Chain A
Amino acid sequence: MITYIFRRLFGLLPMLFGITLISFMVIKLAPGKPVMLQYSLNPKISLDEIKRLEKIEGFDKPLYVQYFNWLGNLSRFNFGRSISDGRFVMDKIVERLPVTLSINILSLFLIFLIAVPWGVRSALKQGSTFDRVSTLVMFLLFAAPTFWLALLLMQLFCIQFGWLPISGITALDFEHFNWWQKVFDIGRHLFLPVLVSALAGFAGICRYMRSNMIEALQQPYIYTARAKGLSENKIIYKHALRNALLPIVTILGLSLPGLLGGSIIFESIFAIPGIGRLFYEAAMMRDINLIMAEIILVAVLTMLGNLIADVLYAYVDPRIRYKK
């Protein structure tokens, strides 16, 4: 098992190299030079100045030189500095991580907490009114645009009822609060963002769980279990549910990069200083170091997520064992 993991990890390196090469070239080929975008159409800023600024950033060098310089820095775990403000890319990312991570973990938790039992129930009562209504609700949630849902909920909870703050993650007088007021304040601010990001995720997991469960319930071993005279609870929760949960492990693994992904839409609407906005702005500004750092981050996490899912699978499913 250990050698398998190492072999897989080692195999990731060439893939990572390929990813960086392609994405670097794609970004560089995109129209719009970063320095020019920053000072676009300002008559006070002449072409000479743009060229001087590009030289400071090293953008005047040939593309392959830029790439290998960047790769050289990366091999020393140096992601470079952001061109928009000269700060280290890593500092900028780390600063945004806590809020994005906490919202995503909370909403993922909420999704599984509600969607799994809901899906199971739908499967058990397949075709019932409950199943049909929940199918409808799930599809509606799935189809509703996040921004629209967010604005409606804000209108309701924040303006009509006045229970919750509209945007941001802390109140303006946050510093003067004691610890429990701080916790309460953050909770109030995060309630809607977590809810909205969870609502959009419910549908997928719930429907997935439902179909897995339906499939599991039709397997021969369920007939065997029934024939043995096991109680219905034992059949459903021990035999069917365990098997139906297996693919969820894969989904969990694949949601690893998503945890850091953030979402530009709801982060903008709720004015949350998260990762999504950071990278959106980086892309708009052609802030190459920041974009590349994100690509590496997401690529590594996706590959690790895959690996973790595979390993976990082997662990939870005795039928799959990797040959040494």
Chain B
Amino acid sequence: MVASFIFLSAILVADFALAKDISNKDYGDAIVGASIADARTLVPILASDGASSEICGMIFNGLVKYDKDINLVGDLADSWEITNDGLVIIFHLRKNVRWHDGFPFTARDVEFTFQKLIDPNVKTPYSGDFERVKSLEVVDDYILKVTYKEPFVPALSSWGMAIIPKHLLEKEDLNTTKFSRHPIGTGPYKFKSWKTQEKIELEANPDYFEHKPFIGRYISRVIPDESTIFLELQTQGVDSSGISPLQYTRQTDTPFFKKHYRKFRLPSFSYLYLGYNLRDAKFSDKRVRQALNYAVDKDEIIKIVLLGLGKVATGPYLPGTFAYNESVLPASFNPDRARELLKEAGWIDLNNDGWLEKDGKRFEFTILTNQGNEERLKVAQIIQRRLKEVGIKVNVRVVEWSVFLTEFIEKRKFETVLLGWSLPREPDNYDIWHSSKTGEGQFNFVGYKNAEIDDLLTQGRRTFDQEKRKVFYQKAHEILYDDQPYMFIYVPDGLSILHNRFEGIVPAPIGIGYNFIDWWVPKAKQKYK
């Protein structure tokens, strides 16, 4: 959960004090975070769950990373050149980097990581991006030449993948290695201990190539119950945690919390949508989809479900990034316009029973969503009520997650689904919108097909020049909002709380965690040894 706020990005809205520029910061103390799930493995190329990725992010580095303004910058790589029209990337690596055991880091480690990523016997889910690599050549210890089969822009960000040490893993089976519970990396924190389902403890790496982190220990406690986490906050047993809208607005609005904690509110990297099954005749007419969008009041949903802590979504791009088109404005709530559009599309209430009909059939559909998500259930109910007002009967059905995936999404047996997508920093969303991705197990499960979008997304992943690339994605954003293959609902705010003894936090578009190694606690306020 520490990660869910530290690494979430965007603009800080809440109360915070700007860090003073103090050169004599104190070392020491620890930060205690709470995570609802334990990590599974600390072999970063196998880790796919949030808890594991968070810890791996502190221990390992990739070749590149995102800076505070969500631009790719070097991490283990000092610099890189892209040549041959984007077919070749040459990385120049940092020379002063050592693994936590003192062994020097070289291009051989990158080569080794790459070989493991494309090894069919390694249980990594991340091979996709790396199978596009035609060859990877170690020029010398610090220069690496990667050649691609075709130009692929997301390739660069894929090198944010954590690099693992060749000298320790060469003879190991990555799927079962003990390294997964005793990792050695190059990152700002060194692994110290892991008590299963209890806590993982890291300590500052004094030889970190940027500089030694000021906070001495990083402790991630596993507390599966959110109400327990909140009780822990009330005794200052936990320093940082994500919180719910209710906790943010009401339960932490007390003198105690104001005295000891700071709250942060940052747009999260995700959005909620209602996806239409476009194979269904009801939804194949664009006017119908637009009508539904007019008929549902998104501001009302945000006010009720998120207590106002969110923003109306207008498309599948991260607000504030180059791909996001600011000129796409959310449609206003306009039931009359919705009725008009529905009438144009042939949906009329002929028998005056309050429901629209066409070809003798009533306009009725089911919103399917997954169990265990109260917010989604509330959203579905609000949509149900608003659509009733324009004469559409909506049923809400909640299904357990695994059944939801295998029986409904995979088999395309749904009318509409209420789901969320994450919004990655890299805007390429070819897999979700391209018409070639509607097949079995693929992610364009709504069956959206639009030649113009296909073309824009193909160009977008081939063009390295960000100014040109921007044009493709902003255009795609505009078309997708007009076409309404999804009803885009909201981008919720990521809400979090942090103990106020920590200083040096400078919020930026990427969030607050990007400069974690510069956070510090004045000696007098330090709580842990």
Enumerate chain A interface residues (CB-CB to B < 8 A): 30-33, 36-47, 49-50, 52-53, 56, 81, 84-87, 92, 95-96, 151, 154-155, 158-159, 162, 165-170, 172-173, 176, 267-271, 273, 277-278, 286
User: In chain B, what residue has the closest Cβ to A170?
Assistant: B198
A273 and B222 within 8 A (CB): yes
Q: Which of A36, A44, A166, A267 contacts B237 (CB 8 A)?
A: A166
A81-B176 CB under 8 A given contacts A96-B196, A154-B231, A167-B223: yes
CA distance A168 to B231 in the complex (A): 13
User: In chain A, what residue has the closest Cβ to B443?
Assistant: A43
Q: Which of A31, A43, A56, A286 contacts B175 (CB 8 A)?
A: A56
Residues in A neighbouring B41, C-beta threshold 8 A: 85-86
Q: Mark B194-233, 1 if CB is under 8 A from A, else 0.
A: 0111110000000000000000000101111101100110
CA distance A91 to B121 in the complex (A): 23
Q: What are 19 residue pairs bridging A and B, where the CB atoms are less than 8 Å apart in the complex?
A: A38-B49, A40-B405, A44-B129, A53-B123, A53-B125, A84-B40, A86-B180, A96-B196, A166-B232, A166-B237, A168-B199, A168-B221, A172-B30, A172-B199, A176-B529, A269-B228, A271-B222, A271-B223, A273-B197
CA distance A154 to B181 in the complex (A): 32
Q: Which of A30, A43, A56, A173 contacts B123 (CB 8 A)?
A: A56
Q: Which of B181, B195, B407, B432 contacts A273 (CB 8 A)?
A: B195
Q: Which of B235, B440, B443, B529 contacts A162 (CB 8 A)?
A: B235
B125 and A37 within 8 A (CB): no
B168 adjacent to chain A (CB < 8 Å): no
CA distance A92 to B197 in the complex (A): 11
State how many angstroms separate the Cβ of B223 from the closest Cβ of chain A.
4
Which 5 residue pairs of A and B lie closest in terms of their CB atoms, listed nearest first?
A32-B402, A47-B441, A273-B197, A268-B224, A43-B431
A273-B198 CB under 8 A given contacts A36-B405, A53-B125, A159-B231: yes
CA distance A58 to B46 in the complex (A): 18
A41-B443 CB under 8 A given contacts A31-B402, A46-B128: yes
Residues in A neighbouring B529, C-beta threshold 8 A: 173, 176
Enumerate chain B interface residues (CB-CB to A < 8 A): 30, 32, 40-41, 46, 48-49, 120-121, 123, 125-129, 175-176, 180-181, 195-199, 219, 221-225, 227-228, 231-232, 234-235, 237, 401-403, 405-407, 409, 419, 421, 429, 431-432, 440-443, 528-529
Residues in A neighbouring B49, C-beta threshold 8 A: 38
CA distance A44 to B154 in the complex (A): 11
Q: Which of B32, B129, B219, B228 contacts A166 (CB 8 A)?
A: B228
A86 and B235 within 8 A (CB): no
Indicate the member of A40, A159, A167, A267 with the most B CB atoms within 10 Å. Answer: A167
Residues in B neighbouring A286, C-beta threshold 8 A: 402
Residues in B neighbouring A43, C-beta threshold 8 A: 421, 429, 431-432, 443
Q: Which of B125, B419, B421, B440 contacts A39 (CB 8 A)?
A: B125
Residues in B neighbouring A30, C-beta threshold 8 A: 402
B125 and A172 within 8 A (CB): no
CA distance A31 to B413 in the complex (A): 15
State how many angstroms separate the Cβ of B54 from the closest Cβ of chain A.
16
Residues in B neighbouring A33, C-beta threshold 8 A: 406
A86 and B123 within 8 A (CB): yes
User: In chain B, what residue has the closest Cβ to A50?
Assistant: B441
Q: Which of B128, B232, B406, B442 contacts A167 (CB 8 A)?
A: B232
User: In chain A, what residue has the closest Cβ to B47?
Assistant: A85
A47 and B406 within 8 A (CB): no
A56-B129 CB under 8 A given contacts A166-B228, A277-B224: no
A49-B406 CB under 8 A given contacts A159-B235, A271-B223: no
Residues in A neighbouring B197, C-beta threshold 8 A: 96, 273, 277-278
A166-B231 CB under 8 A given contacts A32-B406, A44-B129, A85-B41: yes
State how many angstroms separate the Cβ of A56 from the closest Cβ of chain B.
6
A270 and B228 within 8 A (CB): yes
State how many angstroms separate the Cβ of B450 from the closest Cβ of chain A.
18
A165 and B237 within 8 A (CB): yes
State how many angstroms separate the Cβ of B192 from the closest Cβ of chain A.
10
CA distance A165 to B231 in the complex (A): 10
CA distance A159 to B254 in the complex (A): 15
Residues in B neighbouring A42, C-beta threshold 8 A: 48, 125
Residues in B neighbouring A267, C-beta threshold 8 A: 224
A36-B406 CB under 8 A given contacts A49-B127, A86-B123, A172-B219: yes
State how many angstroms separate the Cβ of A247 from the closest Cβ of chain B.
36
Residues in B neighbouring A53, C-beta threshold 8 A: 123, 125
Residues in A neighbouring B30, C-beta threshold 8 A: 172
State how many angstroms separate the Cβ of B241 from the closest Cβ of chain A.
13
State how many angstroms separate the Cβ of B499 from the closest Cβ of chain A.
14
B231 and A155 within 8 A (CB): yes
Residues in A neighbouring B181, C-beta threshold 8 A: 87
Residues in A neighbouring B32, C-beta threshold 8 A: 172
A168 and B198 within 8 A (CB): yes
Residues in A neighbouring B195, C-beta threshold 8 A: 273
CA distance A97 to B429 in the complex (A): 45
Residues in A neighbouring B221, C-beta threshold 8 A: 168, 271
B196 and A95 within 8 A (CB): yes
Residues in A neighbouring B127, C-beta threshold 8 A: 49, 52
Indicate the member of A56, A92, A170, A172 with the most B CB atoms within 10 Å. Answer: A172
CA distance A277 to B405 in the complex (A): 23
User: In chain A, what residue has the closest Cβ to B223?
Assistant: A271
CA distance A269 to B228 in the complex (A): 6
B440 and A169 within 8 A (CB): no
State how many angstroms separate the Cβ of A317 from the closest Cβ of chain B.
43
CA distance A86 to B47 in the complex (A): 12
A45 and B125 within 8 A (CB): yes
A159 and B225 within 8 A (CB): no
Residues in A neighbouring B199, C-beta threshold 8 A: 168, 172
CA distance A95 to B196 in the complex (A): 8
Residues in A neighbouring B46, C-beta threshold 8 A: 86
Give me 14 other A-B pairs in contact (C-beta within 8 A), A155-B231, A173-B528 excluded.
Answer: A32-B406, A36-B405, A40-B405, A41-B405, A49-B128, A53-B123, A56-B175, A86-B175, A86-B176, A87-B180, A151-B231, A166-B231, A172-B219, A268-B225
Residues in A neighbouring B406, C-beta threshold 8 A: 31-33, 36
State how many angstroms separate the Cβ of A276 from the closest Cβ of chain B.
11
CA distance A219 to B196 in the complex (A): 54
State how many angstroms separate the Cβ of A43 from the closest Cβ of chain B.
4
A40-B401 CB under 8 A given contacts A86-B41, A158-B235, A273-B196: yes
State how many angstroms separate the Cβ of A268 from the closest Cβ of chain B.
4
A37 and B443 within 8 A (CB): no
A37 and B405 within 8 A (CB): yes
CA distance A170 to B198 in the complex (A): 9
Residues in A neighbouring B402, C-beta threshold 8 A: 30-32, 37, 286
A44 and B225 within 8 A (CB): no
CA distance A269 to B27 in the complex (A): 34
CA distance A278 to B197 in the complex (A): 9
CA distance A84 to B180 in the complex (A): 12
B48 and A39 within 8 A (CB): yes
A169 and B198 within 8 A (CB): yes
State how many angstroms separate the Cβ of B404 from the closest Cβ of chain A.
9
Residues in B neighbouring A41, C-beta threshold 8 A: 405, 409, 419, 443
Residues in B neighbouring A268, C-beta threshold 8 A: 224-225, 228
State how many angstroms separate the Cβ of A154 from the closest Cβ of chain B.
5
